[in-house]
Amino acid sequence: MGRPSLAEQRRSEILAAVGRCVARYGVAGTTLELVSSESGLSRGHIRHYLGNRDELILAFADRVFEQGGYAMGEARAAAPAGGQSKAMLDILFGPRWEPAEDNPAIDALLSAAATDEALADRMRFAYLQIESAMTKALRADFPSAPAALCTQTAYALISMAFGNSTLSQLNFPANRRKGARAMAEALLEQVRNPEP
């Protein structure tokens, strides 16, 4: 019987090290040498498991957004009939989008995406998946609402959640975050009862 593969464990360790480096040094400052030092693995091992520096950054971005997308899918699947949109708001305005240790890394990815088209494509795709999940939740909960209204509302909700998450890092009072959630729920009501 052969030894179990360490590939997934090593990939996870390396991606965690990439995240810490990106948070500390930004995308431009993250090098294979820094990731090697942070992970305790040689540059050769890092290349073997994940590839070159650019591939590391893209793999890290994928990992960050896969985790968020998975949570959205779980929330929708577990929601009662008519409650998918509220379940999605629980994710967008809940602890998962509150300040966390990976926020500086996500901010660095977004900043780097302004000049890195491959990274911008990856991140746009990830946010479009979140928007699509929110749109599907709205369509399921409010089947008589116009499709365009559901898509526009999904984008507005994600924008609000992203802004709320970003500003939360600046220690705005908790009542501001609660107010943002209340405004998001008001948007749901507009979808439920669209004006003619």
At 3 the pLDDT is 63
Residues with pLDDT less than 50, the chain = none
**Which amino acid belongs to residue 185?**
E
pLDDT score for 88? 92
Structure confidence by residue, pLDDT tens digits, 10-65: 999 999 999 999 999 999 999 999 999 999 999 999 999 999 999 999 999 998 88
Domains of the chain listed by start with CATH number: 60-192 (1.10.357)
Q: What is the DSSP letter of 3?
A: P
106: amino acid identity, one letter: I
pLDDT of residue 28: 95
The confidence score (pLDDT) of residue 65 equals: 81
Determine the pLDDT at residue 94. Answer: 84
Q: What is the pLDDT of residue 2?
A: 59
* Whole-structure pTM value: 0.83
Burial of 174 (0-12, 13-18, 19+ CB in 10 A): exposed
